[in-house]
Amino acid sequence: MMFARYNRQKFCASVQMISSRRPLTLSDHHLILLLILAVGAALRFYRLGLVEHAYDNSYPVYDAVRMLDGHIPLLIGQPSSVFIDNPPLMSYFQALFLLVWRSLWAVYIPIVALNTLAIVFIYLAARPLLGNAAALVAAALFAVSPWVIHFSRMTWPPALIPFFTAVIAWGLWPMLAASDWPAFFTMVGSLAAIAMMQASMPAWGVLAQLVALAPLAWRRIPRRVLAISGLVFLAGLALYAIGFTARLSENTQRAANFLSIGFEFHLTREGLDHAVRLVTGRDYDWVWARTETDEFTVRRRLSLAADAGLRLALLAGGLFATRALWQDKGKRRLAIVLLTWWGVPILLVTVVASTSSFSAHIHYLLLSLPAGHMLAAWGLTPLTRPKARWLLVLLLIAITLIFSLNILRAEEIVAARPVKPELDVWSLEAATEVGKTIRDLLPRNSAYPQRIVIPGGNQVVISSLSATYLDPIDDLAYPDFILLPGQDPLLYVLTNPTVSPETLGPQVELFSERNRQYPNGIQVVFARVLPISREDALALPDVLINWPTDAGLTLLGYSMPPAIQPGQPLRLTAYWRVDALLPERRTWQPELSYRLEDLSGNNVMRVRRHRVSPQDWQPGDVYIEHIEEMLPEGILPGDYRVRIRVLESSAPERFLFHTPTGLVDQLLIPITVLR
């Protein structure tokens, strides 16, 4: 209570100091900056566990654990679905923290911290250009922008663009627009631009911004800085080119597809709208925090009011900058820098979006940061005068409250559905919770990637949850088609199942205390199956067959009643064991085929064809397939047979069974349909 009372008194004193009419001292500005930084940090870190963790946020983590666990050298980063692949720097950055702590928290916390530190760099960049008061306003607008906060809490390749652009602004803009800027700061800004390009392919658009500003920089940038930066850039470009060749065909095909789209130039506002949204927060509430309630209706109106006010500030800043181009020699360079930095990404997106099938995402406009916020702060400079300062303070407080409420509501929506049924989208809190359990239950000293059964689980996402290089076995279908391991214990991660020894064999370990139940009704259950010996596996089927095949699979046997009543399901359980890992298996796509036919071989019912992946096999693995299919209506009583074969799905060949009497291509099991 005393701590809360002290903070409340400190906040009230800060507001009173800001709104007073006396001139602010340097120490006052520092206190206000600390207050802005505290608000920005709170909005970014509070309930960080309720950000969504999905495929894009997972991939750099996946690449990092592939390097750490699989010792796979990484020369290129996350593949792109639109253009060429990303460089790998983001994965190397995340691997440094995963060396210390194997958790998603080890990745998210440093990234969010750096993007929070960007608030300070924006103040430091704007102070020599716009003055202390406007610099504080720019930092405040950046600190509370919901879209900036949203992208500051991600771990995908562009995750650090808010931080890098702030460092670039601090290191380069005063050198371009002012004078006597330390060469070291310029060097840091240049290296930040290079690092940003090595982390994300969309960040290469910064080259267009720098080229556009080159006439301002040519006589001011120290030649040593230019030489060192050029060498570092060329070295990074060479490394990326080497990695690019590793996926040359895929990259060239995607680039060709992208460039082959017919250009139908038309005016579009996509780029401009997205750049404005990053400043005004427009539509964040609609995209991420929408609910079917009266509260949302009120919040939507308040959000649109905040958007309108900040649009006016941005427009005023643009007008001030335009006027400075012609009338204010002292601010002319600053106007060129801000308008160019903000306008070039808009122009690039406008040109790209001129293709009829391409829709630009808002994150492509992150390169415009923080120019839009500085322009808006410039537009608000009339309110920084002592007599109007109270109005500016009230405006910023109101905007902060509206944006904070939208962010809070967005987090509540994630809290209500922390796991999606497909297991491809998680809240960070749920992801780290399940990921830690996976790590705790995985076998020790197993080869990487470690196998795991998680139906529908994507390898990239699941590996990132546990910060471990995993290989989900994707050809299983619990409980109809399961795997009992032959060598290492095998972990099953299942949603809403009933797990018992009857479904996962006699050597299953259940961990009821580790199971998780989530508010949207999804239950995540953990079970670990211990290795099964050949002797124990042979005891599973009712009828022993023990026929090896050319594929390396052995049909151990089956369980099926010899007779069935019409209207009842056909129940068949087949048991297969991996007894040989043939080198050519990596090119195979075997299918286990089951068919009900009459004694003449005429098809009565195709029961099932199930493809298996030999790439996932380990010696001694036992596949158990449970089949339950209703007989066709009108089937006549009499004798029938179930035919079991192993087919090659990509060719007409069949794998042969090696029986005691010779080679056959099928097993025929008699069954009678009763009257």
DSSP string spanning 67-98? HHHH----SS-PPPSSSSPPPSHHHHHHHHHH
What is the per-residue pLDDT across 291-333, written as a single tens digit (0 to 9) for each? 988 999 999 999 999 999 999 999 999 999 999 998 878 899 9
pLDDT of amino acid 262: 56
pLDDT of amino acid 181: 86
> How far is CA 387 from its chain centroid?
48
pLDDT at 15 over 50: no
pLDDT of amino acid 476: 87
The helix-helix angle for 428-441 and 459-466 (nearest 10°) equals 80
pLDDT at 505 over 50: yes
Write the CA distances from 183 to 174, 209, 464, integer angstroms.
11, 20, 40
> For 102-114, what is the mean pLDDT?
98
Entry field: residues in the chain: 675
**What's the CA angle centered on 401, arms 395 and 404, to 5 degrees?**
135
Percent of residues, the chain, with pLDDT higher than 70: 92
- Range picked from 116-125, 172-181, 593-602, 640-649 for highest mean pLDDT: 116-125
Tell me the two tokens of residue 430.
């749920």
> C-alpha dihedral over 58, 64, 68, 72, to 10 degrees?
110
pLDDT at 67 over 90: yes
Query: Is residue 536 classed as helix, strand or coil in its secondary structure?
Result: helix
CATH of domain 536-673: 2.60.40.2550
Question: Hey, how many other C-beta atoms are within 10 angstroms of the C-beta on 71?
Answer: 9
Q: Which residues contact 518 (CB under 8 A, 6 or more apart)?
A: 417, 418, 419, 430, 524
pLDDT at 178 over 60: yes
What is the per-residue pLDDT across 183-227, written as a single tens digit (0 to 9) for each? 999 999 999 999 999 999 999 999 999 999 999 888 888 889 999
Query: Is residue 487 classed as helix, strand or coil in its secondary structure?
Result: coil
Tell me the two tokens of residue 34.
């600390």
pLDDT at 87 over 50: yes
Choice among 321-325, 336-340, 508-512 with the minimum mean pLDDT:
508-512
Q: pLDDT band at residue 1, thresholds of 50, 70 and 90? A: very low
Helices (H), ranges, 71-182: 89-98, 105-130, 132-144, 146-152, 161-177
Residue 467's closest CA among 438, 428, 427, 488?
438
Residue with tokens 């643009």: 318
Choice among 3-7, 12-16, 614-618 with the minimum mean pLDDT:
3-7
Cis omega (within 30 of 0) on the bond before 162?
Answer: no
Across all residues in the chain, what is the average pLDDT? 89
pTM to 2 decimals? 0.90
Q: Which residues contact 507 (CB under 8 A, 6 or more apart)?
A: 484, 529, 530, 531, 532, 536
pLDDT of amino acid 114: 98
E-assigned strand segments in 396-552? 426-427, 450-453, 470-472, 481-484, 490-495, 508-510, 516-517, 523-529, 543-548
Residue 54's closest CA among 444, 461, 402?
461
d(CA 658, CA 56) in angstroms, rounded, equals 47
For the chain, which residues make up each domain, given as ranges? Answer: 15-46+77-415, 438-532, 536-673
C-beta separation of 349 from 368 below 8 A: no
Q: pLDDT band at residue 4, thresholds of 50, 70 and 90? A: very low
Choice among 89-98, 146-155, 567-576 with the minimum mean pLDDT:
567-576
d(CA 278, CA 273) in angstroms, rounded, equals 9
> How far is CA 133 from its chain centroid?
38
C-beta separation of 82 from 157 below 8 A: no
Q: pLDDT band at residue 357, thresholds of 50, 70 and 90? A: low
